[in-house]
A and B are shown apart, each in its own frame.
Chain A
Amino acid sequence: MIRIGCRGCLSWCLLVAVGLGFFFWPPEATAQEEVASALRRYKDREASTGYYEEYEVRPRRQRPLVGVPGVARGSFPYSPSAAAVRITTRLADSHRGVQFYYNRRCQDCHPQQARDYHTTRGKLTCRQCHGGEPIASIQHYYSPLNPIRRHAYVCAKCHQGASTSFASYVVHEPSPAALETRRSFPVLFYAFWIMVALAGGTFLVFLPHTVLWGLRELLARRRKHGE
């Protein structure tokens, strides 16, 4: 009975040890990766901490193909260096993680955005509309440029009585002639090209007409009135 009892005790001890070991055993590391995908790593760690690409083990060279609604249609290769595709429209600090941020001027990275009439003619600075540091993404809940309060917090500072409709004026207007505008601002694109076609059509008729007429009169033999 003792032997049986001892063996029983031993097997119980082994069971408990294995059971405890289940909890304390280190987790298995797959190819030394900390995260499953670059996008997940970005969302879980980089966006919240502000530290990018600081990993002991570099991710695999092959990037997963992901599509992000509102950023790019379909799938596109996400890579830590492809900063342009990062989702930065809803951050409290839209410039989080930008290297040497405080040594740069807005138009270093946003040259096209510094060419609108509010900047060049109205002499407004970027921060007068976009707010102070940290500059929030315009879709961030607390951004002054969030469409829910843009008209009151930004536009109405100069345009008294500005409504939400008024605030939908596109300050950073894309070039109406550019093919890209057909997707981003189709009404502007088509209105522009219809008007250009109207003007061009008028001159296509009247310029040759006028030139021909002028030449004909210039080359005609001198003639008395009434002939």
Chain B
Amino acid sequence: MSRIRRFTLAQRLFHLLLMLSFMTQAATGLGRMYIETKWGSLVASFFGGYELSLTIHKWVGLFMLSLLGAHIIYVLATIEWRGFPRRLLGPDSLLPHKDDLKQALGHLGWMLGLAPLPRLDRWTYWEKFDYWAVFWGLFILGGTGLLLFNPVASSRLLPGWGLNVTLWVHRIEAALAMAHIFVIHFFIGHLRRENFPMDLVMFEGSVDRAKLSHERPAWVERLQREGRLEDLQTLPKPFPWRAAYYIFGYAAMIACLFLFVGALAYSRLVTW
């Protein structure tokens, strides 16, 4: 059973670190915001309570911003500069392309039973959206978070009443990010029938060739045409690794759903 490599070790590490830090931010932020409720104090107690949750939230936030910086450096280092920007406009790039709109509409047509499945390439439109949503989220959450890091200092840059606004922007953007990850990303990534019970590709790095040529036929054909398909072939990871991926992935998903359901259920008991 041959497998094709989709993600390098560096890319998987970025995802793992982003995932762990995002979950920490979600838990410390929600625990603090919901501290008046039993659920909130339970969540915060995992991080040492109300005060320590904020300290962790601030430093993990700085870590996420440095992760963003590291990722930008990584992207600049891996961009194919020869013949710039030809490769950036091609199908191997994560930049939005006019074909994405066509594929999104085609995919919608397939969902309604009106059209065949669009022939997707390396990056699909929903993956590109997820990728850029992290930038957008990190800029809004990181920017407001930096302003809230030390309110006394930041009130020199903006009037103090701006911090009221900043906190609300931070909250709503965080709620959007969490709901998107905990509902849409998890469902598309793992819970829909094609991927159920779990798509290991972001942990294992490789995907089954038959599955790939169903999922992304345009990419597989392109690789075959360019003769690069053989270079990307790898072996499946041994069983203990795969078991660890399942356990870790499900632990993360259950923890996130616990946060999501708790946040919804207890939202009426919080003083806003």
Contacts and interface: CB of A to CB of B under 8 A. Distances in A.
Interface of A: 115, 117, 120-121, 159-163, 165-170, 173, 175-176, 185, 187-188, 191-192, 195-196, 198-199, 202-203, 206-207, 209-210, 212-218, 220, 225-227
Given A163-B156, A226-B213, A209 B164 contact: no
B78 interface: no
Given A210-B184, A225-B208, A168 B160 contact: yes
Given A169-B161, A210-B187, A225-B211, A191 B168 contact: yes
B258 to A, nearest CB: 21
Interface in B149-198: 151-152, 155-156, 158-165, 168-169, 172-173, 175-176, 179-180, 183-184, 187-188, 191-194
Interface residues of B, number: 45
B110 interface: yes
B134 interface: no
Nearest to B212: A225
Contact of B165 (A117, A188, A215): A188
Contacts, number: 112
Contact of B184 (A163, A173, A207): A207
Contacts of B175: 199
Interface in B186-236: 187-188, 191-194, 208, 210-211, 213-214
Q: What is the interface of chain A mostly: helix, strand, loop, or mixed?
A: helix
Contact of A169 (B164, B183, B192, B194): B164
Interface in B131-156: 151-152, 155-156
B193 A191 contact: no
B155 A166 contact: yes
